[in-house]
Structure 1
């Protein structure tokens, strides 16, 4: 198993949690972004720099992910893609995307996208809270305990 991070939009605090978990559990961690990233010096942690462009990092993750891998992303279409490939997807707020909930989330995402396209101000995501960080850390720990 490897952990993949859709790193362009992943909050720094979530990356820090993941760095510690990778080291503690001995799990390879790969960050994918369209800008160069600094990562802690570790043989377990590396980054892949992809070209700038719409969904280029997402496509790279989807191309490389293996069944059983964990992908950290807030991108619902990417989550749907990796779930379809037999991988797992967890968002930075600690919510797992699953075969049971991904279609509903895609539908809601698409509806909001259509509203924004029609000029309706929908607002953005709420700021990440300490509770969100704790929920993420707890879900990650549970997942790694069950899947190692």
Structure 2
């Protein structure tokens, strides 16, 4: 079974970087997002769209191909579409801690858009912090939002995803 990189593309700022890492690692990609987005805009015209075309068309990157999976609009539609297709050793790019938790529970790996590789050892604490912050906001309080996304975040993401895909191939 081939390892696949899934991209939770709803508001994902690193889709292009994830595709570049997958091309280099020769890993197939499924970009998942709701139907209101033009997810295909991230794909090069020369990128193969399925495994059969990847073998014949892209000698430089055999094994790499890209599929776009449009899901309905709705909370967690992309998350559930990813989880139901997920196999152990797949890799998921997401900023959603809940999805990351489900991914880890299925034996796959998850990486955040800032390059944080989620861990089974810390995911419960991540979920707890998210829950506590949500309680504060529901009570009318304020929590600090995420820092501005930087070039350093983008570079850390690419570096860590490259390593994660390389490590996972062994």
**Do Structure 1 and Structure 2 share a fold, with TM-score over 0.5?**
yes
Match of 1:98 in 2: 119
Moved beyond 2 Å, runs of 4+ = none
Per-residue deviation, residues 3-38 of structure 1 (Å, max 9, x unmatched): 001100211xx1111111222222101111013412
Taking the aligned partners of 2:165 and 2:32, their CA distance within structure 1 comes to 21
Q: Please report the TM-score for the alignment, with normalisation by the length of structure 2.
A: 0.82
Q: Does 1:121 align with 2:160?
A: no
Cα contact 2:8–2:94 (8 A) shared by 1: yes
Higher RCO, 1 vs 2 (CA within 8 Å, ≥6 residues apart): 2
Residues 33-64 of structure 1 show CA distances to partners (whole Å, capped at 9, x for unaligned) of 01341231312112100000011111111111
Q: Which has the larger radius of gyration?
A: 2
> Aligned equivalents of 1:76 and 1:94: distance in 2?
13
Q: Is the 8 A contact 1:22 1:45 kept in 2?
A: no
Is residue 71–residue 90 contact of structure 1 (8 Å, CA) maintained in 2?
yes
Provide, for residues 76-130 of structure 1, a one-character-per-residue CA deviation record: whole Å limited to 9, x for no partner.
Answer: 0100001000010000111111111100000000001111111112242112111
Structure 1 CA distance for aligned equivalents of residues 21 and 156 of structure 2: 15
Alignment of 1:23-102 (within 5 A): 23-35=23-35, 36-38=38-40, 39-40=42-43, 41=45, 42-43=47-48, 44-102=65-123
Partner of 1:19: 19
CA-based RMSD: 1.1
